Amino acid sequence: MAYPKEYYTYGQKCPVYTGPGIVKEVGKQVKARGCKKVFIVTDPFLATTDIVKKVTDSVTAEGLDYVVYSEVNVDPLDTVIYEATDIAKKENVDCIVGVGGGSSLDAAKSIDILFANPGPLSRYYMSLDHKPSIPLFEVPTTTGTGSECTMFSVISDTQTGTKKVPYKIPDLAFCDPELTYDLPAHLTAVTGMDAFAHAAETMTGLIQNPHTDALCSYGIRELVKYLPIACEEPHNKEARQHMMDASNLIGIGFGEMGCHIGHAIGQCIGAAFHTTHGISCAWALPATMEYAAVTEGDKVKMVADFMGLDYPEDISNEGIGKLVSEAISAFMKKIKVQPMSEYGITREALIDIADIVMQDNCWPVIPRQLTKPELERLLGRVYDSYQG
């Protein structure tokens, strides 16, 4: 397998604690780092559940104080980040714990940046050029984003109406599969497909390395086997642990290389039609594999291999792209991912987002450049390739 760069680097920047019940260790690890007052960042629903209570119980068991900020919305607005940061400063907290899906984890990252650095948040889009801040801990409650380990913090910019990405690497992650047991089947499905998209796009992107291939290909194999089980049997301990591992390892992989056109499209679908990140990226994935196979046929074959697909040795790039695209669509049907039409999105409306897709932060690393008419045809294919 050839790689386009003469050298590459990799490493595990955010240590991970994982296993059933590991959330009980949050307080101990916070205390071990000398922290005394915790700022817990979550959403309105989770704030009322036993999940956040498990975190607060672990904190108070160590004699520590805490403040809960529970106003994080889906694809958090930059205004939410400013509000939360002001509260954190007034409360004199000395660490942050994000609890939830990607939105809460991403919000915690951006809050952590602004706690020690001047605004506006736009200064830190796609940049690690900021001073170190207070310790940041992440506790995921879904198995899809891998955000507990990545530096990416996807934020909705209220000035531009688009999604932007400040960079912040968490200090420690707690991946407890028990926190996902009550996740509804449709959310299990779409967050799992987000992880699938991360893996398949990372493996076929403009910049690649064998470390990310190893992590992402392993993750695809685990997702194909265990995601349907997790959707059907939410309290299946084995399936939930494997899903947590797959999501996290894929997150580490795509955190090194990044995603490409599928996420450019998915992020812009979310911004334009207010759909969740996971389902938006799922919709884009089948056609993305057809697009990627034109120049990255060998890597799309690797996706096929870890999906357990059979194909003739002399299959063309177009053939492997179509095979993988159809297999992913069939897999999405199996786990009951709803199509765009059920969200009121028309083919014409989807094609109309071409201009903002070409401005997305993932666009510069797509493996094969497209003209606007070519992108519009691809967007049409995104719509047609998955009808549910």
DSSP class per residue in 240-302: HHHHHHHHHHHHHHHHHH---HHHHHHHHHHHHH---HHHHHHHHHHHHHHHHHHHHHHHHHH
At the top level of CATH, which class does the domain 16-180 belong to?
A: alpha beta
The residues of the chain that CATH labels 3.40.50.1970 are 16-180
Residue 192: Cβ-neighbour burial (10 angstroms; 0-12, 13-18, 19+): buried
DSSP class per residue in 63-132: T-EEEEE--PPSS-BHHHHHHHHHHHHHTT--EEEEEESHHHHHHHHHHHHHHHS-S-GGGGBT---S--
For residue 148, the one-letter residue type is E
Q: Residue 200 and residue 215: Cα distance in Å, rounded?
A: 11
Q: Residue 388 and residue 383: Cα distance in Å, rounded?
A: 11
Residue 1: predicted pLDDT: 47
Residue 68: predicted pLDDT: 98
Residue 149: Cβ-neighbour burial (10 angstroms; 0-12, 13-18, 19+): buried
Architecture of domain 185-385: Up-down Bundle (1.20)
Q: Residue 332 and residue 279: Cα distance in Å, rounded?
A: 10
Cis peptide before 120 (omega within 30 of 0): yes
- The answer to whether the pTM exceeds 0.75 is yes
For residue 218, the one-letter residue type is Y
Q: Residue 146 and residue 67: Cα distance in Å, rounded?
A: 25
- Residue listed under structure tokens 């797509």: 366
Helix 261-273 × helix 277-307 angle, to 10°: 160
* 336 CB-side CA count, 13 A: 10
Q: What is the dihedral of CA 354, 356, 358, 364, to 10 degrees?
A: -150
Cβ contact 125:164 at 8 Å: yes
Q: What is the largest CA-CA distance in the chain?
A: 64
In degrees rounded to 5, what are phi and psi of residue 14?
A: -120, 110
Cβ contact 228:334 at 8 Å: yes
Q: Write out the two tokens for 259.
A: 């995603």
The residues near 129 (Cβ < 8 Å, ≥ 6 apart) are none
The residues of the chain that CATH labels 1.20.1090.10 are 185-385
User: What is the chain's pLDDT, residue by residue, as a tens digit (388 residues)?
Assistant: 445 555 667 777 899 999 999 999 999 999 999 999 999 999 999 999 999 999 999 999 999 999 999 999 988 999 999 999 999 999 999 999 999 999 999 999 999 999 999 999 999 999 999 999 999 999 999 999 999 999 999 898 999 888 889 999 999 999 999 999 999 999 999 999 999 999 999 999 988 889 999 999 999 999 999 999 999 999 999 999 999 999 999 999 998 888 999 999 999 999 899 899 999 999 999 999 999 999 999 999 999 999 999 999 999 999 999 999 999 999 999 999 999 999 999 999 999 999 999 999 899 989 999 999 999 999 999 999 999 8
3-class DSSP state for residue 138? strand
Phi-psi domain of 100 (left: phi exceeds 0; alpha: psi -120 through 50; beta: other) = left
